[in-house]
Structure 1
């Protein structure tokens, strides 16, 4: 029964592969020393992927999106079958067809191998031919692709736009609450990534660079902040307020250890930051008129800030981040705002 199933699988593969070549075809050819065979892998797709450094059948199929059960099946069939040539058909997770042709490494001195001194290579062809295996005119062989950015998971530098929600914690009961959606955090980040470890499965980079950030603490209702004396006060306006907020601008230096996982295309960053306040102001907007009040003052805020930060996301795309100030937001002499610490959650684009 096993032999009959294998024959049916090969027959189905033979009919399916011709149809798949009507799309772009990717060909990867190498010698798998584990099974001692010359392996050619064909996949029909315009989707690009990155070849692993260590070319063997397991790694190549993984990079093409073939799940572990299918990879194991292919390895078992190739190892158990003693024929000089095996043909196996698989499906990747996204529905792409993957065809494997394995030949005995001792009996496959083909014209391509002789010309290229048995070098590993791969190709991509967009020609609509029924048989791309033996047509040198439709295939240009090149060296295997490396990881992007010179084989590194992280680019040498990048720019990030942070957008999040902020709030404060650990204050006295007299400290007013902030609006959940109105209190926002915005930052522009210019980052350098120095790769410390460039591994097969994981890269580690030290990420650092300047950043400018804006913390908008939006008060609820008619609450507002004032500092007519040396002490900060939280008061309630006699007129209805449409907007009441305290804005703080800082120059920061985040430093993080970034872990990049090649197979999962996932990155995780853990680190901290220090910052210096370069400006702050209070803005009041009254409901019964267009009148606005903007008062520039330090409002008892600490000039220096420091805290912890964490980020997680895909290799390319949106990352989620969180920050927590370890120091007090206001100076130690401000009794009405003692103990307040700011925190932020959001996304990095």
Structure 2
């Protein structure tokens, strides 16, 4: 005997039900007694799955009695079925990733209450789970940045603004919304702040400006120079369409086992506005370590805009940003384009 305790499909004995007879082959038939009050509830069940289990049991000549909970045959396994009388709840979570863990803060439940139509007079409740279309994450971009002049690194001409790769860190903090547009197509959009840190290869490089433009020169003071760099910070907005082949509605994160088999890629624009900039020199004088900071615009362009590439596999996400406009205002400094790349946490 194969028994499925579908309380949601039960009906009061005092009210007649409609009978549906399905003939199969020459000598088999399936009979459903369906009450009209249960038409809404019956839509939630996968009867094909029920038939498959029943056929498997018959083919194995299994004569034991089996009582199966109705939640096993809910479509998509994404609903909660409960009764008021027994106060029992069976949870079945949607599996849009490989993890069974869920955060209800970003989820939506729609409750349907059926009539008192079960054999025991219980009020049946079906709660349908729906993941929100848009989820939020706080992302950190950590990487390095550099400069290009006519598509080449400035070190080819031994320019004083040649950047030292190690120590030229790029840092970004971004509040990102992830909106599902289609099954595996998302839009990641949001705002954040970022910092360029251009550490010059020549530790004696000093920046200044006059009415003509920005100047790069050698600091000739008799000091033991340790570091010279230019820092610029921006507030940014980005819009990156993403294809996530894993269909993960949440933004993937590092060391997150939910995305073990997920590959994702996205390309989109960003725009930023400069909020601060300064130069910093570190040197030793008479055995004392000193730092000089000079906050100034240095004719840096107030606006930056460009394109962002994101590539992720499993639990790791990489980014690449390229500023399409020049770092300095046109005619006030060398024609340099900034770029950055690294890992997103």
With structure 1 as the length reference, what TM-score do the two structures score? Answer: 0.59
Looking at structure 2, the residues matched to 233 and 321 of structure 1 have their Cα atoms a distance apart, in angstroms, of 32
Other structure's SS at 1:287 match? strand
Q: Distance in 2 between matches of 1:119 and 1:167?
A: 55
Q: Does 1:267 align with 2:251?
A: no
The Cα offsets for residues 17-65 of structure 1, whole Å up to 9 and x where unpaired, read as: xxxxxxxxxxxxx7766x962189xxxxxxxxxxxxxxxxxxxxxxxxx
- Match of 2:181, SS state, is strand
For residue 329 of structure 2, give the secondary structure of its aligned residue in structure 1.
coil
| Gap change, CA 1:237 and 1:158, over 3 Å in 2 | same
Residue 242 of structure 1 is matched in structure 2 by: 226
| Aligned: 1:186 with 2:166 | no
CA contact 1:208–1:256 (8 Å) conserved in 2: yes
Q: In the TM superposition, what are the counterparts of 1:124-273 in structure 2 within 5 Å?
A: 142-143=91-92, 145-147=94-96, 150=107, 156-170=135-149, 173=157, 174-197=159-182, 199=183, 203-220=184-201, 221-238=203-220, 239-262=223-246, 264-273=261-270
Distance verdict in 2 for CA 1:233–1:116, change over 3 Å:
closer
- SS of alignment partner, residue 194 of structure 1: strand
TM, length-normalised to structure 2? 0.59
Do 1:307 and 1:325's aligned partners in 2 also have CA atoms closer than 8 Å? Answer: yes
Match 1:323 to one of 321, 324, 328: 321
| Count of residue pairs the alignment pairs up | 238
Q: Which has the higher helix share?
A: 1
In structure 1, list runs of 5 or more residues that go unmatched.
1-29, 41-77, 87-102, 123-138
Partner of 2:311: 312
Q: Helix, strand or coil for the counterpart of 1:312? A: strand
Deviation of residue 119 (structure 1)? Answer: 4.6
Structure 2 portions without partners, runs of 5+ = 1-45, 78-87, 97-101, 108-129, 248-260
**What residue number does 2:299 align with?**
300
Q: How does 1:116-127 map to 2 (within 5 A)?
A: 119=74
Distance 1:118 1:327 in 2: 57
- Paired residue for 1:112? 68
**Who wins on radius of gyration, i.e. which is larger?**
2
